[in-house]
Structure 1
Amino acid sequence: MDALHEEPSHEEHGPRVARSARSLSSNPAVSENQIHETQPSHPMEQSHVSSSHEQARAHSAERSAGQKPSVPRARRMKLSVTRVDPWSVTKVSFLLAIAGGIIQIVAVGFIWFLLNSIGLFDSVTQLVSETGLDAGSFDLSSILSLGTVLSAVTIFSIFEVILVMVLATIGAFLYNLVSALVGGVHVILGDD
C-alpha cells in the first residue's frame, strides 16, 4: 500500500512550529512537550501565547455551556488492494478447503444416520421388490452402507481441496495482473 505523506506548510505571519507526517493512529507524531520546547522564549511572545490559550479555553467553555457538545466526525481513508501474495492465498485456501471437507464428511454421516433411523433405505428396498423391478436381491442399505458413503465423500473432499487450492492460487495471479492494469480494488475505511 502506498505511504501517506503530508507536505509541511510555512506560515509567514506567526512563529513556525515543526510539523511532521502523522501515522495512521490518532496520536500525533509531535508531542505537546516538544511543541512547548520549540515555542519562542521571548517574554512578550510567551504572555501573548498564554493569553491566547486562556481565551481559547474560555471561548470553548462558553460554547460548551450554551450548545450541545460537538460529536467528533469519523475519519475515512480510501485505500486500494494493489497486490495479493499468491503463497498466502494458497495456504489460506488450503486450510479453508480442509475445513470445508471435514464439515462435508460430518454432515453426510449425520444425514446417513438420520435417513437410516427413519427407515428410508428399508422402505425403498421394499418398494422396489413389490414393483418387481429387482432382477435379483436388491438391498439399498447394503449398497449405501455408512462405510461406502463416507469413503466416497472423503475421496470427493480430497479432490475438492486440491481444486479449490489451485483455483484460488490462479485467481490470485489473475488479480495481480488485472490490478497492475486498473489499480486494484479500492476500499474506504472509517473509524467508529
Structure 2
Amino acid sequence: MSEPTKSAPRRYRMTVDHVDPMSVLRLSFLLSVAFGIATIVAVALMWGVLNGMHVFSGIENIIGQVDASGKMAAVAEYLQFSKVVSMAAIISVINVILMTVISTICALLYNVLVKLVGGISVHLIDE
C-alpha cells in the first residue's frame, strides 16, 4: 500500500476591521466582575492569614505603646475584617465600572482608527 500524500497546509490571512462595541461591553463587564469577585476573595483570605499570624494584634499593641493619648486608636478600627472587605468591595465596584467604560471606549477608538490605517492582520495556518 502506498502512503497517502500530505497536502500543503492551508494558509489564511484575515484582517480584524471592526469590533462590536456591545460585545466588548458585555465581555469586559463579565471579566471585570469576575476580577472583582476574585479581588474580594483574595483580600478576605489575606486578612485571614494576617489575622492568623497575629499581625493586627501586634499593630494594635504598637499603637497602644506609642500613642498614650489614644488619638491613633482610630487607625486600628480600619483593620477590622468587615471594614477591609467593604473597602475591597467598593474598590471592586469602581473597578468594574472603569474597566467596562474604558474597554468600550477603546473598542470605539479602534473602529475609528481602523478606518484610517487598516486593521490588525492575522495569519492562520491549518496543518
TM-score, scaled relative to structure 1? 0.60
Give, in angstroms, the shift of residue 133 of structure 1. Answer: 3.3
Answer 1 or 2: which has greater strand percent: 2
Distance 1:147 1:70, change over 3 A: same
Structure 1: 4+ residue segments shifted above 6 A: none
Give SS of 2:32's match: helix
Give, in angstroms, the shift of residue 142 of structure 1. Answer: 3.5
- Structure 1 alignment gaps of length 5 or more: 1-60
Q: What is the total number of aligned residue pairs between the two structures?
A: 126
- The answer as to 2:75 corresponding to 1:133 is no
Is 2:78–2:84's contact at 8 Å kept on the other side of the alignment? no
Q: CA RMSD in A?
A: 2.0
TM-score, scaled relative to structure 2? 0.88
Give, in angstroms, the shift of residue 144 of structure 1. Answer: 1.1
- The answer as to 2:94 corresponding to 1:94 is no
Partner of 1:154: 89
Name the % identity: 38
The amino acid that maps onto 1:148 is K
Is 1:121–1:140's contact at 8 Å kept on the other side of the alignment? no
Match of 2:58 among 103, 115, 123: 123
Is 1:122–1:140's contact at 8 Å kept on the other side of the alignment? no
The higher-RCO structure (CA 8 Å, 6+ apart) is 2
Structure number with greater Rg is: 1
Tell me how far apart the structure 2 counterparts of residues 93 and 143 of structure 1 sit (CA, whole Å): 32
Give, in angstroms, the shift of residue 140 of structure 1. Answer: 5.8
- The answer as to 2:104 corresponding to 1:169 is yes
Answer 1 or 2: which has greater helix percent: 2
Partner of 2:38: 103
